[in-house]
Structure 1
Amino acid sequence: MSRYQSRFQSREHAGAELASALRAYQGTGALVLALPCGGVPVGRVVADALGADFDLVMARRIAAGVALDDTGKTWRTNETDACSTGGGLRGIHFDQLCRQRAVYTPVRKPADPAGRVVIVVDDGLVSGATMYAALARLRKQRPARLICAVPIATRAGLDQVRALADEVLCLDTPDHIASLAHYYHEFQLVSDDRVRALTGMTSAQAPGPAGPGAAASVPSLTQAMLIPYWATPLRAMLECGPNPVGVAVMVHAGGAQRRAARSHYLARKLRTRGFATMLVDLQPDRRVDDAPDSEVDELTKRLARILSFLRASTPFASLPAGLFSAGTAAAAALRVAADHPARPGAVACVAGRIDLTGSAFLQRLDTPTLLMCASGNPESVRLHYQAFAPMHCPRQLSFVHASGCGFDDRKALEEVATLAAAWFEQYLVKPSRPYPAHEAAR
């Protein structure tokens, strides 16, 4: 008996599970691009479940950590510029890529990813070199959002591609993969004829996926926007399903790559509860850690601008809005909630530096406020109690079982999502009723 346990019955089964995880992009006009050959059956199922356009993205591994894209440019993982590694093999591999494109899609041009949500799919990822080349090529074509989605991958391989994708989604991440075939019960070679058949099918012609992903539903809007702010516009990602009940403005300050997976997970959870989401990094140039204490005033100004933009220039103008913040951005959120004319209807802060808000702001805050703190961080617990005391608004202090402030554990994130969604449902969805006496620490 094999010492490996098959994770997926087939590539189609993997595609159905991926589609379920990507259901937030159904009906958004997304473009699914598959890496031939193994990624094509997976991508076909994903595209059909999401109602998305489907095409191929051509890339090919030519050496360890090096791959070639369909323009003839070679890419090395962890580098953003082309390299010459590959020697004489480069020309051979490029000829093979050109042949594949001519065989698979002989009578039409490749789909244009510019300005679209683009989901790049393969049947697995080991070193990450081929996916890296595909993402690097697509990034130059200016998609609105670039997503890497694979059923299974090594953690090291995913680390290679994170910097190029706006979102990375993977269903299973073993430490080591000797062969992708070990994780599929059926893993036959995908022939050129099958690639051509799957690529030429329309959504109406394609058989619907069985099992997970067949009934995907959620957003009717996915839109990347630039919010004007002096010389440096702020990037926002708006997503919602049909008839949202409110909008959660989710903000942090810096460390976008570190926070990305957590933020997108929480946003997906909120959207399943009927909320639209607007994700904004208040300090996009800061690659690591959080904004310093001295920049709370500036973050407050930026957040006030975002709320004004929300009301004036988005489809969410008439929806009740809540703020969901983390780190230093939480102090800015509470200041805005206390003083801004278009103050939010509710605030939720996770691992927030609310001690930086200032007692004067906390005392005049009347917006319902939820504070979430890691139970295993004594200093954070102390600071939250200290800031909680002078608040007179409807308030709740919840301790989430986590050892640090990162909340990277899935169970902790699930609890954070549940608490925030319940808070927004109570104070945004039915704001007309009187606020209940809500003053709890737990």
Structure 2
Amino acid sequence: MVTSQAVSIPADGSAIAGDLVLPPQSGTMVLFAHGSGSSRHSPRNRAVAASLQGAGLGTLLMDLLTAREEQVDVVTAQHRFDIGLLGRRLVSAIDWLGEQPATEPLPVGLFGASTGAAAALVAAAERPGRVQSVVSRGGRPDLAGDTLSQVRAPVLLIVGGDDRDVLEMNREAAALLTAPHRLYVVPGATHLFEEPGALEAVAAAARDWFLRPGQLNEEEAP
């Protein structure tokens, strides 16, 4: 039986909200880090999460900012590019998962979108013993800077073929990764993967990577 619950995760003396879903006999927990200006209600991340849940993976979609920080960010946008802050929030969530009886024994995968991808890479470098894989969707891994070379978990960088600027940023970031990694380009897709079949391709690739870190189904990969 699938269990679903709203959770509150302590972070920096406050709390951030999350939605935890656990299919029966989950083997891995996937923690989602949304992109700039988004939240745990992102329809794209929720669509990917549903696909992962169908494959037996647990998911935690969470807000990276507190309610007050969200109010400030809407006006100033000062927090959404604070990769250090966002990375610390993900580390707090990873540690929280390690303290819950249902999730404590499960390895963690990180799925980051946009600026959330950089935060996911920072968190993976901070918790190499807990994070077993990372997936970036239309991400900005370049914003992780020098931390890229410290990541040990296998990294999958998913980019739309028509998202040319972000594709080039991902190629440059991939060159700095020392961990096993792959650049997966979805032909004809733009930044939000709104084209028919594009988001489904993202979900399938992410599912493969989380189930078998470092591997993709070669029949599906472009």
- TM-score, normalising length: structure 2: 0.86
Equivalent residue in structure 2 for 1:364, among 144, 150, 173: 150
Equivalent residues of 1:330, 1:354 under 8 A apart: yes
Equivalent residue in structure 1 for 2:50, among 258, 265, 268: 268
The aligned runs of 1:99-178 (5 Å cut-off) are none
The aligned runs of 1:238-387 (5 Å cut-off) are 238-256=20-38, 260-283=42-65, 285=70, 286=73, 292-293=80-81, 295-313=82-100, 315-340=102-127, 342-358=129-145, 360-387=146-173
Q: Distance in 2 between matches of 1:262 and 1:290?
A: 23
SS of residue paired to 2:21: strand
Q: Distance in 1 between matches of 2:38 and 2:49?
A: 15
Tell me, which stretches of 5 or more residues in structure 1 are unaligned?
A: 1-218, 428-434
Q: Distance in 2 between matches of 1:260 and 1:314?
A: 28
1:418 maps to which residue?
A: 204
Distance 1:244 1:287, change over 3 A: farther
For 1:306, the aligned partner's letter is: A
2:6 maps to which residue?
A: 224
CA-atom RMSD in angstroms: 2.4
Equivalent residues of 1:307, 1:342 under 8 A apart: no
SS of residue paired to 2:14: coil
Q: Distance in 2 between matches of 1:409 and 1:257?
A: 22
The aligned runs of 1:87-102 (5 Å cut-off) are none
SS of residue paired to 1:313: coil
Equivalent residues of 2:155, 2:179 under 8 A apart: yes
Equivalent residues of 1:256, 1:287 under 8 A apart: no
* Residues 261-284 of structure 1: CA deviation (Å, up to 9, x unaligned): 112111110011110111112135
Distance 1:344 1:410, change over 3 A: farther
Distance 1:291 1:411, change over 3 A: farther
1:409 aligns to 2:191 (yes or no) = no
Distance 1:281 1:408, change over 3 A: farther
Residue 221 of structure 1 and its aligned partner are, at CA, apart by: 0.8
1:394 maps to which residue?
A: 180
Q: Distance in 1 between matches of 2:130 and 2:139?
A: 19
Equivalent residues of 1:254, 1:290 under 8 A apart: no
Structure with greater Cα Rg: 1
Residue 380 of structure 1 and its aligned partner are, at CA, apart by: 0.8
Question: How many equivalent pairs are there?
Answer: 211
Distance 1:363 1:230, change over 3 A: closer
More displaced 10-residue stretch of structure 1: 343-352 or 226-235: 226-235
Distance 1:382 1:245, change over 3 A: same
Residue 410 of structure 1 and its aligned partner are, at CA, apart by: 4.6
Equivalent residues of 1:296, 1:332 under 8 A apart: yes
Q: Distance in 1 between matches of 2:48 and 2:196?
A: 11
Q: Distance in 1 between matches of 2:126 and 2:7?
A: 26
Equivalent residues of 1:290, 1:327 under 8 A apart: no
Distance 1:247 1:410, change over 3 A: farther
For 2:54, the aligned partner's letter is: T
Q: Percent identity?
A: 30
Equivalent residues of 2:158, 2:186 under 8 A apart: yes
Distance 1:258 1:223, change over 3 A: closer
* Residues 306-347 of structure 1: CA deviation (Å, up to 9, x unaligned): 100010135111112100111111111111212325440000
Distance 1:346 1:269, change over 3 A: same
* Residues 32-79 of structure 1: CA deviation (Å, up to 9, x unaligned): xxxxxxxxxxxxxxxxxxxxxxxxxxxxxxxxxxxxxxxxxxxxxxxx
Flag the structure with more relative contact order, 1 or 2, with Cα contacts below 8 A and sequence separation at least 6. Answer: 2
For 2:5, the aligned partner's letter is: Q
Equivalent residues of 1:248, 1:322 under 8 A apart: yes
